[in-house]
Amino acid sequence: MKPNKRRASGAFLILGMTFFVIGLSTDNTAFTWAAIAFIVISLVLGGRWLRPRRK
């Protein structure tokens, strides 16, 4: 069974945003860096922005 990248991308994005809010509210840089990592993983898994545009 092929993994659903769109669902994984959304999950990582939600997780990243949650960690980002926790990191900002507690002034904890570890949570903020984890959030950045999760958001980047989400962008890579989404992959639509990596594909060239059709002319």
User: ∠ CA 37-34-49 to the nearest 5 degrees?
Assistant: 20
pLDDT tens across 1-47, in order?
556 666 778 888 888 899 999 999 998 889 889 999 998 888 888 76
What CA–CA distances, in Å, run from 5 to 40, 42, 46? 14, 9, 7
Q: What is residue 43's predicted lDDT score, i.e. its pLDDT?
A: 85
Q: What is residue 8's predicted lDDT score, i.e. its pLDDT?
A: 77
Kindly list the domain boundaries of the chain, sorted by start residue.
12-47
Q: What is residue 46's predicted lDDT score, i.e. its pLDDT?
A: 77
Q: What is residue 1's predicted lDDT score, i.e. its pLDDT?
A: 53
Element counts in the chain: helices (H) and strands (E): 2, 0
